[in-house]
């Protein structure tokens, strides 16, 4: 399960784009098309992030893929 923990609009964002922070139990859950519980209708903006229970961190790149940094 991936749960959104924070939602914000950044300066210059379109109304339907959100930068989010989320928590997932494992990296394997964070795949294209995954459901993010608590995500408002609209698009997730690049720069959004996910942290896992193991401390792995990923950022959403502008091409829609996740970049794991730890």
Q: Where are the domains of the chain?
A: 2-68
Residue 15 parent element (H or E): none
Confidence of residue 11 (pLDDT cuts 50, 70, 90): low
Neighbour count for residue 48 (Cβ, 10 Å) = 24
| pLDDT(10) > 80 | no
**Phi, psi at 27, each rounded to 5°:** -65, -35
| pLDDT(59) > 90 | yes
Pairwise CA distance, residues 19 & 53, whole Å = 21
Q: Is the dihedral of CA 58, 70, 32, 29 positive or negative?
A: negative
pTM summary value: 0.86
Mean pLDDT, rounded, of the chain: 91
Confidence of residue 41 (pLDDT cuts 50, 70, 90): confident
| pLDDT(61) > 90 | yes
């Amino acid at each position: 399960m991936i749960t959104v923990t924070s939602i914000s609009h950044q300066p210059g964002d379109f109304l339907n784009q959100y930068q989010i922070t989320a928590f997932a139990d494992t990296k394997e859950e964070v795949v294209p098309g995954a459901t993010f519980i608590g995500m408002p209708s609209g698009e997730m903006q690049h720069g959004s992030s996910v942290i896992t229970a193991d401390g792995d961190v990923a950022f959403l790149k502008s091409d829609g893929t996740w970049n794991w940094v730890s």
